[in-house]
Structure 1
Amino acid sequence: MHDEPVRVLLVDDEAGFTDVLTKRMGRRGFAVVSADSGTKAIQILRKEDFDVVVLDLKMEEMDGIEILQVIRKMIPGLPVIMLTGHGSETAARDGLRYGAYDYLLKPCDLEELVHKLRKAAASSMQEKTNRTD
C-alpha cells in the first residue's frame, strides 16, 4: 500500500510549464494528472482521488483562490500547494488563509516542490488514517 505513487493534480494554464513539470515529477515517482483550467480541475476532482493538488494562483478563467475555495468545499482535507509568480506572495499568503497547505514561488525548485509534495501527502495520509480509526 505504501509503495503506491503520490497522486498529484497539477493545475496551471501554461501548457509548456505543466508538460515539463508533469514529466519531471513522473520521473521522480509521482502519478501526475494535469488540468489547464479551474473548471477542468474541478471536473477531474469529481472523478478521481488525489493526494495533493498543485495549483497556480494566476490563471485566466478562474484564479487559484477561487479554485481553492471550491476544493475546500468538495474535499476539505485535500492538501493544496499554491504556485505563484514573483510579486504575488501576498496572494499566496491569502491562499494559506483560505486553507492552502503551502505555497512556492514560480519558477519553483523541483526538489523543494518534491519535498513539499511528499510532506503534504504524508499529512493527508495521516489525516485519512485518523478519520478511519
Structure 2
Amino acid sequence: MTRILLAEDDDSMREYLARALERSGYTVVAVDRGTAALPLLENEAFDLLLTDIVMPEMDGIELAQRATVINPGMRVMFITGFAAVALKGQQTPPNSRVLSKPFHLRDLVLEVDRMFEMGTVTGL
C-alpha cells in the first residue's frame, strides 16, 4: 500500500487532506510541521511527501530537500497558496510537483494518482 507523509500546519486542512487520501486508498501519516516529519522519515518508509511550503520551524522546501537525502526515490508534492513566490530561486527535488491552493480534493487525489502511474521518478 502506498504510504504518504503529510506535513501541513493548518489543523483543519491537514485533517481534510488526510481523510480524502485515505478514502482513496492511501495510507497517510500526518504531522503539523516539518520538524515533526524528519524523525518519521528516518525511521519509516514513505512513497510520497506531501507538504505545505509555508510552515513554522522548517518550511516545506527544506523538509523536501532533507527528505530526499534520506530517501532519494521518494516523490514530493508541495501544496501552497504562494507557489510562485515561495519556489522562486529555491532548489526543489527533481521528482516533485506543486499544487496551488485553492484546489478541489479530487484534483489532489488525481495528481497523487498521476505521480504513481508514472512508475519511476524519471521524467517527473
Residue 17 of structure 2 aligns with which residue? 21
| Corresponding residue to 2:86 among 87, 91, 95 | 91
- Relative to its length, the structure with more helix (as a share) is 1
Q: Summarize the Cα distance change of 1:60–1:31 in structure 2 as closer, same or farther, 3 Å threshold.
A: same
Distance in 2, Cα, partners of 1:75 & 1:35: 18
Distance (Å, rounded) in 1 between the aligned partners of 2:26 and 2:5? 10
Q: Deviations over 1:33-81 (max 9, x none)?
A: 1011111111111121111111100001111111111112111221100
- 1:47 paired with 2:52, answer no
Q: What is the number of residues matched between the two proteins?
A: 120
Residue in 1 aligned with 2:31? 35
Contact 2:49–2:64 (Cα < 8 Å) also in 1: no
**How does 1:115-126 map onto structure 2 within 5 Å?**
115-123=110-118, 125-126=119-120
Give percent identity, aligned residues only.
32
Q: Equivalent residue of 1:126, what SS?
A: coil
Unaligned runs of 5+ in 2: none
Instruction: Write out the 4+ residue segments of structure 1 that deviate beyond 6 Å after TM superposition.
Output: none
Report the structure number with the largest CA radius of gyration: 1
Matched letter for residue 48 of structure 1: E
Q: Which runs of 5+ in 1 are unaligned?
A: 128-133
Query: TM (normalized to structure 1)?
Result: 0.79
